[in-house]
Amino acid sequence: MTNWPAMSITQAHALLTAPGQPLEMETLVIRGLPTRTWKNAPPSLRAVFQQGRTHGDKVFLVHEDERVTFEAFARATLRLAAQLVADGVRKGDRVAVVMRNLPEWPVAFYAASITGAIVTPLNAWWTGPELEYGLSDSGAKVLIADNERMGRLEPHLPGLTGLTRIYEARSTEDALGDPRTVRLESIIGAPDSWGSLADRDYPDVEIGPEDDATIFYTSGTTGKPKGALGTHRNITSNIMASACSVARSYLRRGEQPPVPDPAAPQKATLLSVPFFHATGCHAVMNPSLWAGAKLVLMRKWDAMAAMALIERERVTSCGGVPTIAWQILEHPERGRFDLSSLETVSYGGAPSAPELVRQIAKQFKAHPGNGWGMTETSATFTHHMAEDYEHRPDSCGPPVPVCDLEVRDPDGKVLPPGTVGELYGFGPNVVKGYWNKPEATAATFIDGWVRTGDLARIDEEGFCFIVDRAKDMLIRGGENIYCVEVEAALYEHPAVMDAALVGRPHHQLGEEPVAFVTLKPGTSASEDELRAWVAARLAAFKVPVAVHFEAEPLVRNANGKILKTELKKLLAG
């Protein structure tokens, strides 16, 4: 495209957010601070739910052979909400949701939301003791869990005296011996029957934008996980953020964003991240419900099954982490499937090779996308897609218009463009703080700004480049090594699918860099070859002293971030 970009980011955002536009902004005082907000964002999750119901008989959720329409979802949600109220759930009570991606998950989430409760999704990968911690720390009154999680929790239930009711989904036997436990199916039935449930009134409760809505626990890479307390405004800001990014791409290429057409084919997302993570919930589930898009759920990632689902369900968006995109692109059976419905392939949680960005555009004829956010920013803070991403494949994009980013030095001084420092963020999506942890809140949230712990630089046009996690940066003999920089060099090698750099203790240098790599199927590369590859691109002190090859993709947490703590254990072993 010879005349790209047709306008600057600032010009595009000014047009999109002007008075009278759907993405208009206004400034409100929130918790004592003037804050730009989306004027037309839904005021609460209840409003999102009500809008979702207007999509009627369109399919909302697909899980294996189960298909749930928006109306069926609404009826099951209202039925469960009525039961929660009958169980004594009141505004501000915590309702915990602990299950894998099932149709029951969004039902539980929204049933609790519309009662005014604070929904507390817990990590379905956690062990029994970890789940016990989350339930105890949050002070959950009600637990809604699937049978697998109930199996892990059973030994811990006697100590969780604050729980007054437990609902077990997908139970294969009678409810557990705990008298507080009932089968969820006894209240709402199986997903295929939700459409026949009687309609119910909404719970009689006022819910406003600044009311507490959710507690999402951080990854907990050090110490105990902390519960990020989010408001309804924090969460619903994502709905406008995703729409803005798409519209901005049209303006940047010199086109007018299309007017939404109710008769257009339904959008569909293949969901490969968990609902219990901020990305899966805030950035995917809620915008999909609002816009009438279909969510296709997978029990476990499998490239062949994913391609079959993309073809069958005419999926328009997929992704999750870069490895997933590579596995589809490189799959020897890809030609058997019609993947032409794909419009975007987006991911986050890990750096990606510029070659992946190019191949998505070339092979899929789809727009590549990524972004940056964290639990504390209720998911999306920056967003990057289409030509912008192709031109800056090492960036996570500019902040969405209602958000501000700054790079600061250790004393809190704001640094000029192009300078590396710690990233701070401010906006209507930044959570109130950590649940019942005032000291941690004071250390992380400073005058409304969230201190991210990421090292980054911001260019003249506002594009953000994450350099590393502050705590992941290596110092070798006094020289700083940004892991992301070395990983990016490894990703440029045509055989590398997954890469991570960690520090290994060294008695003289303090630590030295060691790489872990997974190669693409059917390719080969030696340790010497990869070390020479990095040496040709970066300073000698940044070259990994060793490269360890792993047969499977590198181990990740639920939000797609490579678990470097686990890789360090391999070195120690």
Strand ranges inside 99-157, DSSP E: 118-121, 142-146
Question: Does 159 reside within a domain?
Answer: yes
Sheet with 268-271: list strands edge to edge. Answer: 66-69, 59-63, 294-297, 268-271, 317-320, 344-347, 367-374, 379-385
The mean per-residue pLDDT over the stretch 516-522 comes to: 94
CATH number where 528 lies: 3.30.300.30
Mean pLDDT, residues 188-201 taken together: 97
List the domain range (segments joined by +) for residue 494: 474-572
Stated pTM of the model: 0.88
Percent of the chain with pLDDT over 90: 77
Quick one: average pLDDT of 291-311? 95
Instruction: Tell whether the model's pLDDT for residue 192 goes beyond 90.
Output: yes
Q: Measure CA 5 to chain center.
A: 28
Residue 156 has pLDDT above 60, yes or no: yes
Q: Which residues of 429-442 are buried (b: 16+ CB within 10 A; e: fewer)?
A: bbbbbbbebeebbe
Q: CB–CB of 339/311 below 8 Å?
A: yes
In angstroms, the CA 140 to CA 142 distance is: 6
Q: What is the widest separation between alpha-carbon atoms in the chain?
A: 72
Q: Are strands 165-169 and 317-320 parallel, antiparallel or unpaired?
A: unpaired
- Locus of tokens 């791409």: 249
Residue 522 lies in a domain: yes
Cβ contact 58:292 at 8 Å: yes
- What pLDDT is stored for residue 221 in this prediction? 47
* Tokens 């994009």, residue located: 397
pLDDT in tens, 13-28: 999 999 999 999 999 9
pLDDT, residue 223, reads 66
* Average pLDDT, integer, range 59-67: 97
- Each residue's pLDDT tens digit, 79-111: 999 999 999 999 999 999 999 999 999 999 999
Residues 363-372 have pLDDT tens digits of 998 999 999 9
pLDDT value, residue 2: 61
DSSP H/E element including 38: strand 33-38
Is residue 316 situated within a structural domain?
A: no
Weakest mean pLDDT among 55-64, 342-351, 395-404, 481-490 = 342-351
Last residue of a domain, one of 177, 203, 229: 229
Q: 407 falls in which pLDDT band (50, 70, 90)?
A: very high
The answer to whether residue 347 is domain-embedded is no
Q: Parallel, antiparallel, or unpaired for β 496-506 and 479-481? A: unpaired
Task: Answer yes or no: is 238 within a domain.
Answer: no
Question: Could you tell me if residue 29 is inside a domain?
Answer: no
Q: Dump pLDDT digits (tens) for 410-427.
A: 999 999 999 999 999 999
Tell whether omega for the bond before 5 is within 30 degrees of 0, i.e. cis: yes
Q: Distance between CA atoms of 59 and 194, rounded to whole angstroms?
A: 13
**3-state secondary structure string across 299-328:** CCCCHHHHHHHHHHHCCCEEEECHHHHHHH
Give the residue from 194, 229, 264 where a domain finishes: 229
Domain endpoint, select from 171, 195, 229: 229
Confidence of residue 471 (pLDDT cuts 50, 70, 90): confident
Question: Does the structure show a pLDDT above 80 at 161?
Answer: yes
Residue 179: Cβ within 10 Å count = 8
Query: Is the predicted pLDDT of residue 503 greater than 60, yes or no?
Result: yes
The secondary structure of 416-439 as a DSSP string is PTT--EEEEEESTTS-SEETT-HH
Looking at per-residue pLDDT, the higher value among 426 and 326 belongs to 426
What is d(CA 161, CA 282) in angstroms, rounded to the nearest whole number? 30
Question: CATH number for the domain including 130?
Answer: 3.40.50.980
Averaged over 36-64, what is the pLDDT? Answer: 98
Within 10 Å of residue 64's Cβ, how many Cβ atoms? 10
Q: Does the residue 432 lie in any domain?
A: no
Q: Is residue 89 part of a domain?
A: yes
Give the chain's domain count: 2
In this model, does residue 175 exceed pLDDT 50?
no
Q: What is the mean pLDDT of the chain?
A: 93
Residue count (the chain) = 573
Alpha-carbon gap, residue 481 to 485, rounded angstroms: 8
Per-residue model confidence as pLDDT tens digits over 204-263: 999 999 999 999 998 654 568 899 999 999 999 999 998 899 999 999 999 999 988 888
Alpha-carbon distance of 4 to 387, in angstroms, equals 8
Q: What is the pLDDT of residue 351?
A: 61
Q: How far is CA 70 from CA 49, 76, 154, in A?
A: 10, 10, 33
